[in-house]
């Protein structure tokens, strides 16, 4: 019995081996094809936002192939999964570059992974436009082959801090998850607050998986903060909001960087999500943002994936439009020419304007929204504001 | 080699209800009185350590000036302690399931958090798709969970009873991974939560607590006490306890030990799933959030005394309150709450591996 | 075992080492990385095996030493400008000291208590690496100066692997190893026979901590960016245990076979079928632990493919 089981096991192992080799062998490309590849988190902690980027990538590839391909080449797409793990991501990019010999690289998701991968593509001189990394330090190391399209992390709280100033907030708290991106956006919040004369009375990071914020919220209220700038993802910002309500703690303003921008945030939280401020790189609002081609993109995305695109999706699509335009300008897939084009080109995408500075950074302007009646409504900057912000937030007891 | 006999240092022999061969392996001939003294001493040590642990945030807070003895701050403190107790009830729910399996079979169930997560998803599905109230859904989900536990025991864990601890650890860890990624396949990694009883209950004009917190706490108490009474009073429960004390003797006394194992794991899975229901109405969760609950539950059962039911309940409350005190008073303390759990766990293991309730069980 | 057999095995190790030393030029970077990480897992599994296989103390938190090594290397290179090879020595020393400090109290625990205490230690170390901002930069992680490191790290890992195998082999065939086995089988009896279990356990623990720390340091210089979750990743511990168990823990060759086999299979499959293969990985762990606790070497012995003495 025991040896039979072990033999079955060895057999299963071999079967797995064979299964793994088959698609690798099938991936060989024909002459008129270009191979485009990237590793994006399809499992693990980043899978949710990264998944929306994968949607956009697939949409773009099918569309380009539909109109005759890139520079006359059909796209053959290889998307690998880095399991939200840095070491895996490094290895996969080495594989894509040196083994699969892709013609064009796609960016990974998250600041941490991009920081690591940037060393690899820099070494092999393969440029890409990062759509999933907003932390400035990545572009402060003199790298030449990485470009950015999204607004930097330091600006995620810019709108919220300005709105706080407008309603006369004097003391505020900056809290956030202890990892690269939230800490950068927290740093930005503190800098903006300093500029605008708002005193930061609590400044704390919490562990990635923290769920109970009772004590932290008490600390914040005890310190006399009137507003909270929370640099958080879904689970933590949801927990903070719910617990503020449970504890009947009223702040004039609560702003969270990533969580409220995720499509299912208002739906999963119900009325508790009302009045929260969030940051968005982009919103599917063609009438307000007026970027060319937006409506068309939104329609096609919604038809295929049955939800409206969020900013992760929009950013990825914009970066791909930039890449496509740069390839046309370069006239070939030569990485040096492409790099040159990406560094100099000026493009209007569905995501916004692209033109990078010497470091490779785009000056994208983000928007601040407020969740009102379950909808994200743009409230800042004023030129794009759909509606006046409802601030200070009404007390829990008056809702 | 007999793992069951070798698992705690000789001086803790008295607190080892699961070590039938204990005396045979003791190297030093230890007179009974010496052991008793050592037992008492380690209990005092543990008490002293815990007092220090609870005093530490106050001392640090006083040093850093975060403590202000005005009315407002005291209200903050009271809210935090109340919140800790509420949270502790839910922690205890996680821990009692883990402690049952550990007590009866000496298996560390590394998939416990994933079972909690399974409970959260079952509740979420019943709420959003079938429109069933999360608490009512327990009527539906608990039997499912029980059967799941029985199946896990039958197919996987029976092989790990009496085997080296690595076997059980790896089996359950692998099971946990399988559960995580199966859940990702079905539900994606999007976060979910149930907007249930989101309001507040004002205890005094300054101290408030969430409705869902109170509901969760009451549920946790009702369920844990129910299971406790079952273990204490019913025939079957007594058989479970007897098996935990000494499986061989239990077998001799005519208890069907195999059946007890099935019931134990079924019960543990049901407790985990009930814990998951409470998670789903309080926090956001996705397939990967289970792991942290496993780690917290480990810390709690070590603190409470392995295999000890009441110890697990106490341990849950103590850990949650300590976490909240650290977060409130220590500057940048929220980043350190995890240290509270792991620190407690390691120090308790070193001072008194039997935990709080070590002697009582023996 | 006879003297000529030792010589033969030594020669075999030398040949493998030489072959691996000459291949990197013929490999592309990805293949080089693949071989490098395979060698890394051989080091990790073998080291884990010293304390958990030979001595019977199941460490469920060995990734702590790997992470400590990675941080020692990254901090010294990035913030103090050391040469990275020098930092590997520092990584070994730091891990050794930490191993003594942790091992002395924790090795008094046995069975599941030791396993849980080590898990708590590993998680606690991760939290400290996150909280101790002034030293580790906390959640920001540490970025090392970019450089082409694939050859240097390859050779460093190769050297480390050869040393680790040699040390593990020496332990497996020495009186030291016999005493560790005696502790595993019956610690009380071993002590009664005059084995100072405390010292032996501690020595085994320190040895099993040093090599993963150096591996972590090399890994940090290879990847060039580390943060607490990536180098204190629970699954690295699981991989060490699983690879040893798959090959046959308590032997020298088992963990090597297990590491090479499992890492290769993972590499070939995971990349292509993300979620489905992680499910398969989970099931695989279950099956190995459930049905073949003695591993492939156990199977080979049962079938009479190898003599019992040979697998050490």
Chains contacting B (3 or more CB pairs within 8 Å): A, C
Query: Taking residues A128-154, what's their average pLDDT?
Result: 92
* CB–CB contact A218 B79 (8 Å): yes
pLDDT at A353: 94
Give A346-363 as a DSSP string.
Answer: -EE-SS-EE-B-TTS-B-
Residues C69-128: pLDDT tens digits? 999 999 999 999 999 999 999 999 999 999 999 999 899 888 888 998 899 999 999 999
C52 and B166 in contact by Cβ < 8 A? yes
Question: What pLDDT, on the 0 to 100 scale, is given for residue C164?
Answer: 96
Position A216 scores a pLDDT of: 94
Among B208, B282, B338, the residue with its CB nearest the CB of A207 is: B338
**Hunting for tokens 């009930």 — which residue is that?**
B274
* pLDDT score for B327: 92
Query: CA end-to-end span of chain C, whole Å?
Result: 10
State residue A10's pLDDT score. Answer: 60
- The C-alpha atoms of residue A358 and residue C35 are separated, in whole angstroms, by 38
d(CA C108, CA C97): 18
Residue of C101, C103, C119 best to disrupt the B interface, most CBs of B under 10 A? C119
State pLDDT tens for residues A326-348: 999 999 999 999 999 999 999 99
Cα separation of the two ends of chain A: 66
Q: Which of B102, B178, B302 lies closest to C283 in CB terms? A: B178
What is the chain B residue with the closest CA to A218? B76
Residue A394 has pLDDT above 90, yes or no: yes
The pLDDT, as a whole number, for residue B9 is: 38
Answer yes or no: is pLDDT of C312 > 80. Answer: no
Summarize pLDDT for B24-69 with one digit per residue, the tens: 333 344 445 555 667 788 888 888 999 999 999 999 989 888 888 8
Q: Is B209 on the interface with A (CB under 8 A)?
A: yes
Residues of B in contact with A249 (CB under 8 A): 208
Q: What does each C-alpha distance from C291 to B179, C203, C239, C298 come to in angstroms?
A: 20, 32, 17, 12
**Mean pLDDT for chain B overall:** 85
Q: Which of A208, A214, A245, A268 best probes binding to B when mutated, by most B CB atoms within 10 angstroms?
A: A214
Span C126-179, pLDDT tens digits: 999 998 989 999 888 898 887 778 889 999 999 999 999 999 999 988 999 999
Q: Is the pLDDT of residue B359 over 50?
A: no
- Nearest Cα of chain C lies from the Cα of A166 at a distance, in angstroms, of 32
Chains that touch C (3 or more CB pairs under 8 A): A, B
Residue in A85, A92, A178 nearest the CB of C139? A178
> Which whole number is the average pLDDT over A99-112?
92
Beta-carbon contacts of C92 under 8 Å, excluding residues fewer than 6 positions away, are C69, C210, C213, C214
Residue A216 with chain B: CB contacts under 8 Å:
327-328, 334
B295 to chain A, minimum CA–CA distance in Å? 12
B313-354 residue pLDDT tens: 899 999 999 999 999 998 888 888 888 888 888 888 888 877
pLDDT one-digit tens code per residue, B221-262: 999 999 999 999 999 999 999 999 889 999 999 999 999 999
Assess C148–A contact: CB distance below 8 Å, yes or no.
yes
* CB A269 within 8 Å of CB A316: no
| Neighbouring chains to A with at least 3 Cβ pairs closer than 8 Å | B, C
CB pairs under 8 A between A and C: 135
C-alpha span between A128 and A108 (Å, rounded): 10
Closest CA relative to residue C206, chosen from C49, C99, C47, C279: C99
Interface of C with A in 205-224 (CB under 8 A): 219, 222-224
Alpha carbon distance, N-terminus to C-terminus of chain B: 23
Which pLDDT does position A352 carry in this prediction? 93
User: Inter-chain contact C280–A86, Cβ cutoff 8 Å?
Assistant: no
What is the spatial distance between Cα B95 and Cα B90, in angstroms, rounded to a whole number? 9
Cβ-defined contact of A242 to B198 (cutoff 8 Å): yes
Mean pLDDT of the region A13-17: 58
Question: What backbone torsions phi and psi does residue A172 show, to the nearest 5 degrees?
Answer: -145, 165
pLDDT in tens, A46-95: 888 899 999 999 999 999 999 988 998 999 999 998 888 888 898 899 98
Confidence of residue A389 (pLDDT cuts 50, 70, 90): very high
* CA distance to partner chain A, nearest, from residue B26 (Å): 35
CA C156 to chain centre: 15
Using DSSP's 3-state secondary structure scheme, residue A199 falls into strand
- Per the CB < 8 A criterion, the answer to whether B332 and B285 are in contact is no
Integer angstrom CA distances of residue A267 from A273, A308, A371, B193, B287:
9, 14, 11, 9, 19
Q: What is the pLDDT of residue A264?
A: 83
pLDDT of residue A3: 56
Per residue in A168-183, pLDDT (tens digit) is 999 999 999 988 889 9
Q: How confident is the model at residue A40 (pLDDT cuts 50, 70, 90)?
A: very high
Q: What is the pLDDT of residue A6?
A: 59
- pLDDT score of A22 more than 60: no
**Which of C106, C110, C112 should we substitute to test contact with B (largest number of B Cβ atoms within 10 Å)?**
C112
Lowest-pLDDT range of A271-280, B29-38, B258-267: B29-38
Contacts of B291 in chain C (CB under 8 A): 234
For the segment B281-310, the average pLDDT, to the nearest whole number, is 86
Whether C286 sits inside 8 A of B175 (CB atoms) is: yes
Average pLDDT over residues C218-233: 91
């Amino acid at each position: 019995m025991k040896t039979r089981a072990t033999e079955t096991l060895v057999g299963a192992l071999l079967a797995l081996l064979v299964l793994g080799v088959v698609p690798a062998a099938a991936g060989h490309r024909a002459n008129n094809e270009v191979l485009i590849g990237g590793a994006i988190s399809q499992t693990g902690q980043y899978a949710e936002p990264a998944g929306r980027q994968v949607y956009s990538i697939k949409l773009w590839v099918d569309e380009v192939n539909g109109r005759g391909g890139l520079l006359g080449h059909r796209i053959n797409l290889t998307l690998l999964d880095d399991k939200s793990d840095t070491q895996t991501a490094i290895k996969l990019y080495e594989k894509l570059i040196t083994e699969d010999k892709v013609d064009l690289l796609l960016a990974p998701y998250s600041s941490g992974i991009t920081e690591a991968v940037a060393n690899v593509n820099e070494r092999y001189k393969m440029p890409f436009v990062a759509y999933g990394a907003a932390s400035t330090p990545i572009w402060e190391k003199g790298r030449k082959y990485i470009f950015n399209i999204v607004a930097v992390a330091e600006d995620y709280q810019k709108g919220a801090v300005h709105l706080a100033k407008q309603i006369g907030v004097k003391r505020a708290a900056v809290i956030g998850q202890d990892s690269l991106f939230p800490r950068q956006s927290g740093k930005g919040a503190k800098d903006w607050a300093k500029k605008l004369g708002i005193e930061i009375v609590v400044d704390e990071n919490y562990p990635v998986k923290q769920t109970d914020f009772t004590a932290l919220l008490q600390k914040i209220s005890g310190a006399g903060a009137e507003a909270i700038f929370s640099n958080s993802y879904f689970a933590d910002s949801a927990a903070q909001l719910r617990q503020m309500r449970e504890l009947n703690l009223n702040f004039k303003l609560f702003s969270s960087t990533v969580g409220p921008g995720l499509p299912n945030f208002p739906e999963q939280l119900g009325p508790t999500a009302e009045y929260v401020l969030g940051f968005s790189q982009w919103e599917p609002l063609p009438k307000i943002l007026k970027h060319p081609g937006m409506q068309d993109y939104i329609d096609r995305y919604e038809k295929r994936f049955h939800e409206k695109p969020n900013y992760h999706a929009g950013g990825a699509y914009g970066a791909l439009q930039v890449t496509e335009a740069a390839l046309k300008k370069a006239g070939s897939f030569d990485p040096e020419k492409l790099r040159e084009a990406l560094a100099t080109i000026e493009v209007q995408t569905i995501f916004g304007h692209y033109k990078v500075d010497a470091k490779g950074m785009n000056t994208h302007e983000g928007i601040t929204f407020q969740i009102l009646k379950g909808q994200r409504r743009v409230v800042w900057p004023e030129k794009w504001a759909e509606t006046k912000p409802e601030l200070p937030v009404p007390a829990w007891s008056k809702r | 080699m007999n793992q069951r006999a070798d698992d705690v240092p000789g001086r803790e022999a008295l607190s080892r209800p699961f070590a039938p061969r204990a005396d045979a392996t003791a190297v030093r001939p230890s007179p009974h009185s010496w052991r008793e003294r050592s037992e008492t001493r380690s209990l005092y040590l543990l008490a002293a350590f815990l007092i220090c642990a609870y005093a530490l945030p106050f001392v640090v807070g006083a040093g850093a000036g975060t403590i202000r003895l005005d009315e407002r701050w005291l209200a903050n403190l009271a809210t935090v302690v109340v919140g800790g107790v509420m949270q502790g009830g839910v922690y205890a729910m996680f821990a009692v399931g883990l402690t049952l399996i550990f007590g009866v079979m000496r298996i560390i169930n590394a998939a416990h958090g994933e079972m909690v997560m399974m409970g959260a998803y079952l509740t979420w599905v019943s709420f959003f798709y079938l429109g069933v109230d999360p608490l009512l859904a327990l009527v539906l989900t608990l039997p499912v969970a029980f059967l799941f536990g029985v199946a896990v025991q039958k197919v996987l864990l029976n092989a790990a009873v009496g085997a080296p601890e690595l076997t059980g650890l790896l089996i359950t860890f692998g099971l946990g991974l399988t559960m995580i990624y199966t859940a990702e396949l079905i539900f994606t990694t999007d976060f979910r939560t149930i907007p249930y009883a989101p309001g507040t209950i004002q205890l005094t004009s300054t101290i408030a607590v969430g409705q869902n917190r109170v509901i969760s706490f009451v549920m946790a108490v009702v369920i844990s006490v129910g299971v406790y009474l079952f273990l204490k009073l019913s025939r079957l429960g007594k058989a479970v306890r007897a098996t935990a004390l000494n499986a061989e003797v239990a077998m001799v006394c005519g208890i069907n030990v195999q059946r007890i194992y099935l019931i134990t794991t079924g019960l543990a899975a049901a407790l985990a799933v009930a814990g998951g229901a409470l998670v789903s109405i309080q926090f956001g969760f996705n397939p990967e959030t289970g792991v942290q609950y496993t780690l917290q539950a480990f810390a709690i059962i070590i603190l409470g005394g392995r295999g000890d039911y009441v110890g697990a309940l106490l341990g849950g409350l103590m850990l949650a309150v300590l976490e909240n005190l650290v977060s409130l008073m220590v500057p940048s303390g929220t980043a350190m709450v995890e240290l509270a759990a792991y620190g407690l766990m390691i120090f308790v293991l070193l001072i008194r591996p039997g935990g709080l309730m070590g002697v009582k069980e023996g | 075992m006879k003297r000529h057999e030792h010589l033969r095995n030594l020669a075999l190790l030398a040949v493998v080492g030489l072959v691996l030393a000459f291949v990197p030029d013929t490999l592309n970077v990805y293949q080089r990385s693949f071989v490098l990480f395979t060698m890394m897992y051989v080091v990790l599994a073998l080291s884990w095996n010293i304390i958990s296989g030979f001595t019977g103390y199941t460490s469920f938190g060995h990734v702590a030493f790997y992470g400590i090594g990675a941080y020692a290397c990254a901090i010294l290179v990035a913030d103090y400008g050391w040469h990275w090879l020098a930092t590997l020595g520092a990584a070994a020393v730091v891990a050794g000291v930490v191993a003594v400090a942790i091992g002395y109290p924790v090795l008094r625990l046995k069975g599941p208590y030791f396993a849980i205490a080590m898990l708590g230690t590993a998680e606690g170390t991760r939290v400290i690496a996150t909280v101790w901002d002034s030293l580790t930069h906390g959640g920001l992680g540490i970025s090392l100066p970019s450089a082409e490191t694939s050859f240097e790290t390859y050779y460093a890992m190769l050297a480390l692997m050869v040393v680790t195998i040699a040390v593990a082999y020496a332990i497996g065939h020495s009186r030291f190893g016999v005493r560790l086995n005696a502790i595993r089988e019956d610690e009380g009896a071993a002590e009664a026979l005059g084995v100072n279990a405390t010292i032996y356990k501690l020595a085994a623990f320190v040895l099993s901590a040093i090599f993963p720390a150096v591996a972590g340091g090399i890994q940090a210089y290879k990847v060039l960016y580390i943060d607490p979750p990536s180098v204190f990743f629970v699954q690295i511990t699981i991989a060490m245990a699983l690879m040893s168990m798959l090959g046959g823990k308590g032997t020298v060759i088992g963990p090597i076979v297990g590491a090479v086999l499992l890492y290769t299979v993972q590499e070939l499959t995971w990349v292509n079928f993300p979620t489905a293969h992680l499910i398969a990985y989970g099931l695989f762990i279950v099956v190995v632990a459930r049905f073949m606790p003695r591993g492939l070497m156990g199977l080979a012995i049962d079938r009479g493919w190898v003599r019992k003495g040979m697998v050490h």
